[in-house]
Each structure stands twice: as structure tokens, then as C-alpha cells.
Structure 1
Amino acid sequence: MAGVQTDPTRAPVAFGERALPRLARELRDPEPLTRRRALASLCDLVHDPERAYQAVSQGCMEQLKDLLQDSDLSVRTQTSELLHLLASHSVGRQALLSGGLLPPLSSLLDEPCASCRRSVHRALSRLALLPAGAEAMLPLVPRLLLKLSEEEEEEEEEERQEQEVQKEEEVRVLLLSTLARCVRRDARPALACGGVAALGRQLAHRSALVRREAAAAMMAISVPVEGKQQVCEEAVLPVLVALLSDGDAEVQANAAGTIMNTAVITRGKLQCLELDVLPLLLGLVSEEQEEGEEEEEEKRKRRRAVVVYSLRALASLAEAPAARRLLLQHLPLLRKRSGEEGEEGGEEEEEVRRAARTAVRVVTWTP
């Protein structure tokens, strides 16, 4: 009979309930190879939500906290990968946050190992899905913005192979998504350290995913008045206006949302009108699903967001007399979108109709 084949990179896993306690003991072994093999086996196990819950409930998190500061780079790397996998489960995110693992995990952002840094960014991005997680990461925002600038400099300095470029783009997307969630909680830390300028440089990136996340973060940072002012000061609006013609609907929606926010202040209105944004916004409002075209729900949601944000931007811009005069010529389009002409859509179109009605009220307002 042929011998049983075993994987030398993984620790043998005991049966049933004995599996995790045995691996937990091996995590404390003085030999780095034993610790690495135990971590590799745990990575395989915690894809299962039940195993992830057992790992958390049986005290593995405290050991992982120590392993993040292990003297062996491979151990630190595998520990960050394990935490990334645990953070894919709600129980893992809660445990990561309550167990005080954020400080030692974030200390690995400067690790020389690219795969380690990537796992850290994945874990942080998933942790930011929790409102409490995004709140806890607010002190990290200046550092994350600095890492974003460093990634940009490295890309400009060196020629990379396609695989390396894809990995770097993944890290940039993770960074931006984490920043966007943190900024939605509180934009002040990002505004205080040049967040608008840093995000603005990402808006013209070749990757649609990077543009999408950068525009989402820009939309979030433009909510407070200071954010709107910085969007005007940093000359971001010309790039955002160009993104209204982007091939990615989510990029368009986030760009329209930022313009919507910025057009609330007078300076934002004037800059938008100087950039001749009205025809572009009207074009987005007039786009409709072609007859017989079937779209996935996610695509329909993105299309609705583009239209809603464009209508709200038009409502803000219509407060300027010059914009109102032009929009009066397009009242039939706005009234059609508002449902005044008797064209009723489904329940999901109600948000579009409300935004269109507001735009009609502002455009037709007389003193």
C-alpha cells in the first residue's frame, strides 16, 4: 500500500474538536517552522465560518497578536494572511477589533515583504466594513494617505511586470476603499493632511477600479464645507467633470456625487458652470435603459445613482441665474424624469422621481 502523502508546509490537523487546540499549542512552539506550519493549516480551516468562530472563541486571537510581532518574517506574513481570512467573517472582524490587534497589524504596513503588506491591507479593508472598525482606524488615515503617495512614487520610478502591476493596483484599491470608509465616518483627519490633493491624483489612474475607489473617497471627503472648499482649491473639478464621460458607471456616479456636493457652495457652482458641466449632467439624466435590454440589479443600481446624483447637482446649479435660464429649456426632460407626464416606473425609480421634482421646483422658482 502506498504511503499517505502529507504536505510538509502544513501541520497535521487532528480530528474534530481536537484540531484547533492542537494547532493553538503549536503556535507557541519555539521552532519557527512549526509555527509557520500551524498557521498554514489554520488558514485552510478558517475559510469555514464555524472553524473561524472556534478559533476566536478558543483564544487564538491573543496568540496571533504576539505572532504579528514575531522575529520571523514568514510567521508575520502568514499571521497577517490568517487575520485577513478571519476578517472575512463578522465574528473575526469583531474579535480583531476588540482584541487590540489593530495596532500590531497596522505596524506591518512598512514590512519589506509585499505579500505581507497586501494581506495587511486586505484585513484593514475588511475591518473598515464595521462602522466601529472605520472609527478605530481614523488615527491611521494620515499614514494611509502617506502609503498612497509612496505607492504612486514607486510606480513612477520603476518599470514593473504585468503581474506586479496588478498586485500593486490591488493594494492601491484596498488603500482607497479603506480610506473611503474612514472618511465617511469623519473627514477631518484626511482634510487636515492633504487628503483632497492625494485623492485627486488617483482620479486619472488607468485602472477603473482605482478611479472608482478614488472618486468614492472624494465624494465622501467633499461632504463637509472644508472638503467642498478644498475640492475647489485643488483644481479637482476639471478631472471630475471629465470623469462624467468615463466608461465605468460607478466612476460616473461618484464623480457626479462629488460635483453635487461641491455645487452647494457658491465657489463650487461658479467653477462647475465655467467648466460647462450642465450639458454633461443633462446627458446623463437623459440616458435610459434601451427597450428589451436586461441588466443585472447591480448595474441598474449604478445607473440610478448616476441619474440621481446628476439631478441633485442640477438642482444645486439651478440656484445660479445663468444655469436656471439654460435648464428652463430642458424642463420637458426634467418633468419626464419626475413622473409628471404620467410615466411611472417601478418602486426603485422613486428616488429618481424625487430628485427630478426637486430640480423642477428649483428651476421654475420665481421670487
Structure 2
Amino acid sequence: MAAVLADPSRAPVAFGLRAVPQLFAELQQPESGRRQRALASLCDLMHDPERLYQTVTGGFLEQLKVLFKDEDPSVRTQTCELLHLLTAHSIGRQALLSSSLLPPLSQLLDDNSSSCRKNVLRVMNRLALLPAGAEALLTLVPKLMLKLRPEEEEEEEEEEVQVLLLSTLSRCSRLDALPALASDGVSLLGHKLSHRSPNIRREAAAAMMALSVCEDGKRQVCEEAVLPVLVDLLRDEDIEVQANAAGVIMNTVIITTGKRRCLDLGVLPVLLDRASKRKEDEEEKDEERRRRRKALVMYSLRALTSLAEAPDGRRRLLEQLPLLERRSEAAGEDQDVRRAAQTAIRVITWTP
């Protein structure tokens, strides 16, 4: 009766502390089916923090390296799934970074199995949550950027894969934007800003915001003609897409060229509209959406402050001063928003 009830897709699991060593021993077996079943059972065990800790601290991770080159694509895919489960915890991310698995793992970005490639990106995306992980992945940024090239994309590239790729690039670029900028990052990300998927637009704009922090990034945003697309995204139906687009504009208008280009594109009325919709902010009940709305307002106010440094920008904003004054004087206003509005007013009304 026990044999009938056993799951044929899983390997038998020993009791207690013997389970993990027994299953890793199974991974050494020549039969592909036994390796698959052992990996499936190991993935089940990783939901138990005690077994996860045992796997990470018991020196078992290095044994996975040989499975990256397994002839069976399902074994390679399940091995990456196991690492994905391990990296759900900080101790697993740190253990993977301390191991020698990252270089051979990165080679699976070009695996012929789409499921395997997706699992590799899921692992890397979680690694990038740690500053040390983002730093370790910086050398892979040029390779990840190649995946954004139109000729490299599959006709029906899975949305989740693109989101994972863009999110990982965003996290790495917040640490250091130069590798992405040197890999034609602004142009490649600009191609994604008009994607039909709001998730992809959101992550592309977030990555663009990371690239626009440094001087070279600001200059490239102006040169690559992505500012018209970003101004359009301020009207996007997704609030986070709007906030990320406003963040890129906020960074770019720090330089003179950015100010001039944005003023020519008529960005002032749109930014003023985004910065002055206080009623919508008050009526928003969802905490996460309130956070995103606050980011949109803050980025818009800071962009307006920089644009007011240009004579033409100051002249136009003086005509709209009451909008900002209402925001800075409203009772119950968020203190960060109030201060940002007051700073904008000081710059707009400054006289020599």
C-alpha cells in the first residue's frame, strides 16, 4: 500500500537530518530520472527552514555545479529552481555569493531551455536584493543588456522573463550605472518604454531612472531622444510607471540640456498636474498606492524646482504659483511633500 501512495515524481526521503545528505547522494547517480526525483524532493525540503539551513551550511551547494552541465534540460532547470528557493532567504543568497557557482550559473543564461533561463534570472534577481549580490552581478550587466536587443529577443518572449531581466538590471545599476551605460543601456531601455505591458514599462522606467543619476546618464537620456516617451509616460494608466518616468525627468533636468529639452516638450503643465492632485492622494486607501503617489508627487515637485532655475521655466511657473502654494499650505499635508513644495516656491520666486 505504501508503494501505491508514494509520489513517483519524488525520491524517498530519509527521516530528520539524514534527508538532505541522502538526497544529495542521489544526485550523483547516473540515471537522469533518479536525479530529477532527488531534486524534486530537495525543492520540497527547502520550504523547511531547518533543512534549508542544513543545505547551506553543510557544504552541499558545490555539488550542484556538475548539474549545470547535465545533458537533461529538466535537471538543469530543477537545479536552478532549487537555487531559487535557497535564495528566498538571506542566508541562501550569501551562501551562493560565497560559493563558486555564480560563473557556471551565468553560462545558463544562454541555455536552450527557456524554463532554465527563466530560473537563472529568478536566482539573479534575488541575489541583486543584496548590495553584495548586485556588485557580483555587475560584470554580467553587458551580457544581460544583450538580452534586450531586438534581434536577441524571441518573437513571443515571456513577459516574466523580461520583467526579471529589467528588474535585475535596475538593481545593479542603482549600485553602479556605468556598465549599463557603456552597453548602450539608455537606447535599449528606451525601446522597452513603449511596451504594451505595464509591468515591462514600469521596470524599464525604473532602470532608466537608475541610469540617469550620473552625469553621463543624464546626457545620454537627452541624446537618445527618450524624453518625449518619458513625458508621455507621465500620463500612463499605471501610477508607478508615472512615478518612475517622473524620476528620470527629475534627474535629467538637473543639467541645462535636460531643462531645455523638457521645456520644449511642454512638460510643465503635466508635472504641475501630477504635483497638485491632492484630492486623489487623500482618497487613496491602499498603503502601497499611497507610497507610489507620494513618490510621483515628490519627483514632480523636484523636477519643477530644477526647471524653475531656467529663466523661461521660472517665468511660466510664476503664473502657476497658486497651485504650488495650495500644496504647501494645505492642512494635514505630508511633511515631505510640504517641504518639497516650499522649496519649489522659493526657487520660483527667487530674485537676484
Q: Give the TM-score band, short-chain normalised.
A: over 0.9
Please show how residues 335-346 of structure 1 align to structure 2 within 5 Å.
335-338=325-328, 341=329, 343-345=331-333
Please show how residues 208-357 of structure 1 align to structure 2 within 5 Å.
208-290=198-280, 293-338=283-328, 341=329, 343-345=331-333, 349-357=334-342
- The answer to whether the 8 Å contact 2:146/2:152 transfers is no
Compute the displacement of 1:63 (Å). Answer: 0.7
Deviations 1:290-315 (A, max 9, x none): 49835211000000000000000000
Deviations 1:93-141 (A, max 9, x none): 1111111211111100011111100101111111110100000111100
- Equivalent position of 1:205 in the other structure: 195
- The answer to whether the 8 Å contact 2:88/2:126 transfers is yes
- Equivalent position of 1:5 in the other structure: 5
Deviations 1:232-277 (A, max 9, x none): 0000100000000001111000000000000000000000000000
Distance in structure 1 (CA, Å) of the matches to 2:144 and 2:98: 21
- The answer to whether the 8 Å contact 2:135/2:175 transfers is yes
- The answer to whether the 8 Å contact 1:173/1:213 transfers is yes
Q: Mean alpha-carbon deviation: is it higher for 190-199 or for 32-41?
A: 32-41
Structure 1 residue 21 corresponds to structure 2 residue 21:
yes
Amino acid of the structure 1 residue aligned with 2:229: V
TM-aligned CA distance change 1:122 to 1:3, over 3 Å:
closer
Distance in structure 1 (CA, Å) of the matches to 2:281 and 2:253: 33
Is the partner of 1:154 in helix, strand or coil? coil
Aligned Cα RMSD in Å?
Answer: 1.6
Number of aligned residues: 352
Distance in structure 2 (CA, Å) of the matches to 1:291 and 1:182: 31
- Equivalent position of 2:164 in the other structure: 174
Deviations 1:148-205 (A, max 9, x none): 22576422xxxx5xxxx6xx11000000000000100101111111000000000000
- The answer to whether the 8 Å contact 1:336/1:343 transfers is no
Amino acid of the structure 2 residue aligned with 1:116: C
Amino acid of the structure 2 residue aligned with 1:60: F
Match of 1:358 among 337, 343, 350: 343
- The answer to whether the 8 Å contact 1:187/1:221 transfers is yes
TM-aligned CA distance change 1:64 to 1:3, over 3 Å:
closer
Identity %: 66
Is the partner of 2:290 in helix, strand or coil? helix
| TM-score normalised per structure 2 | 0.96
Distance in structure 1 (CA, Å) of the matches to 2:216 and 2:227: 15
Unpaired segments ≥5 residues, structure 2: none
TM-aligned CA distance change 1:193 to 1:292, over 3 Å:
closer
Q: Mean alpha-carbon deviation: is it higher for 290-299 or for 129-138?
A: 290-299
Distance in structure 2 (CA, Å) of the matches to 1:360 and 1:32: 69
Compute the displacement of 1:28 (Å). Answer: 1.7
- Equivalent position of 2:126 in the other structure: 126
TM-aligned CA distance change 1:197 to 1:45, over 3 Å:
same
Segments of 4+ moved more than 4 angstroms: none
Distance in structure 1 (CA, Å) of the matches to 2:124 and 2:3: 42
Distance in structure 2 (CA, Å) of the matches to 1:197 and 1:292: 37
Distance in structure 2 (CA, Å) of the matches to 1:12 and 1:3: 10
Unpaired segments ≥5 residues, structure 1: none
- The answer to whether the 8 Å contact 1:80/1:119 transfers is yes
Distance in structure 1 (CA, Å) of the matches to 2:135 and 2:339: 32
Distance in structure 2 (CA, Å) of the matches to 1:2 and 1:229: 68
Q: Mean alpha-carbon deviation: is it higher for 236-245 or for 318-327?
A: 318-327
| TM-score normalised per structure 1 | 0.92
Distance in structure 1 (CA, Å) of the matches to 2:309 and 2:108: 49
Distance in structure 2 (CA, Å) of the matches to 1:218 and 1:139: 19
Amino acid of the structure 2 residue aligned with 1:343: A
TM-aligned CA distance change 1:2 to 1:136, over 3 Å:
closer
- The answer to whether the 8 Å contact 1:324/1:363 transfers is yes
Amino acid of the structure 1 residue aligned with 2:138: L
Distance in structure 1 (CA, Å) of the matches to 2:81 and 2:273: 45
Compute the displacement of 1:36 (Å). Answer: 1.4
Q: Mean alpha-carbon deviation: is it higher for 233-242 or for 73-82?
A: 73-82
